[in-house]
Amino acid sequence: MYFLKRLLLLLPLLLFISFLAFTLVHVAPGGPFDRERRPASPEIERAIKAKYHLDEPVLKQYARYLGLIWEKDAQGNWHHAPASFDISLKYRNHSVTAIIAQGLPVSMSLGLLAFGFALGVGVPVGYFTAVRRGHWEDYAGSFFAILVICVPGLVVAPMLIMLLAIKWRIFPVALWGSPAHAVLPMMALGLYFSGRIARLMREGMLNTMQSEFIVAARAKGLGENAVLLKHAFRLAVLPVVSYSGPLLADLLTGSFVIESIFQIPGLGMQMVNSSLNSDYTMTVALALLYAALLLVMNLLVDFAYVVLDRRVKYE
């Protein structure tokens, strides 16, 4: 019941976010046609603007964006004006959905790979550093975790390319296509998050290992592995689960730095370029996509909490 209510609340929330994003991008100076060849005359510029209704008040434009405008034509008949959300102002022979449909699969597969990499590295590192607390494995693992948090993709990606692609020629330098192309971007994108996840996992394990039910499980005579893996792990992974929500929303919508260094045609590039180009409809659509992903992911995270930790209840 609780989750149904949250699901229903998503829609008005997204509507509000779209309104906020829409006004935000329109407030910024400059328009989508500024960086093109200067129009021959002010009349032409005005005509282009009028064609895309950029000369109307922002509120009316927003209504048009959603397709809530009816107009009277020359004959005096009322017509429904088509919704403008699907018209890219920069690439005018492509629709917004077509551009997103092109970039999203790329960003999503790279994002999922990086997410898998981050989990695959971060969870074991966090687990073992906590279990071996105070031993050298802990120091080495914890140092690795904090180190990769401090190395931005901006530094990792060129270094990986220089070593693994240019010097030793193991992987291709850039572009997207074969599985081999995905390895370096996956590592460059996922490394930072593996450090974050390792730290969360370690903290979660340390906290859980002190709780009474673990002491009780040990007292019952359960083996150390059963205690840690079956009982502690389940709760210790919760911080990682709640971090995964926003993380996935972030990763699936692409990363500008990684995409531009490896020349991958994903959404991260679109996100930055559309805001720089004042491609209003594109920017708002991408912001909405991100927000929708984030909200849905957070909902899933809360749902996962109920499954993993039976003590959690939402009314």
* Residue among 15 and 81 whose Cβ is closer to other proteins: 15
Q: Using CB under 8 A, which of the segments 13-21, 50-58, 72-80, 85-93 binds other proteins? A: 13-21
In the complex, the smallest distance separating the C-beta of residue 226 from other proteins, rounded to whole angstroms, is: 29
Q: Using CB under 8 A, which of the segments 43-51, 94-102, 272-280, 307-315 binds other proteins? A: 272-280
4 closest CA partner among 242, 304, 314? 314
What is the spatial distance between Cα 270 and Cα 256, in angstroms, rounded to a whole number?
A: 8
In the complex, the smallest distance separating the C-beta of residue 293 from other proteins, rounded to whole angstroms, is: 9
Which of 81, 276, 307, 308 is the binder for other proteins (CB under 8 A)? 276
What is the spatial distance between Cα 218 and Cα 252, in angstroms, rounded to a whole number?
A: 41
Does residue number 295 form part of the binding site for other proteins (CB under 8 A)?
yes
| Nearest-10 Cα torsion for 221, 225, 228, 231 | -60
Q: Using CB under 8 A, which of the segments 51-59, 162-170, 176-184, 218-226 binds other proteins? A: 162-170
Q: Which two structure tokens, joined as six digits, stand for 15?
A: 């509507």
Across-strand partners of 95? 87
* Residue among 218 and 242 whose Cβ is closer to other proteins: 242
What is the spatial distance between Cα 197 and Cα 141, in angstroms, rounded to a whole number?
A: 12
Does residue number 271 form part of the binding site for other proteins (CB under 8 A)?
yes
28 closest CA partner among 257, 227, 284? 284
Q: Where are the alpha helices (DSSP H) in 54-152?
A: 58-66, 96-131, 136-150
Residue numbers at the binding site for other proteins (CB under 8 A): 13, 16-17, 20-21, 24-25, 27-30, 146-147, 149-152, 154-155, 157-159, 161-162, 166-167, 173, 253, 256-257, 261, 271-272, 275-276, 283, 286-287, 290-291, 294-295
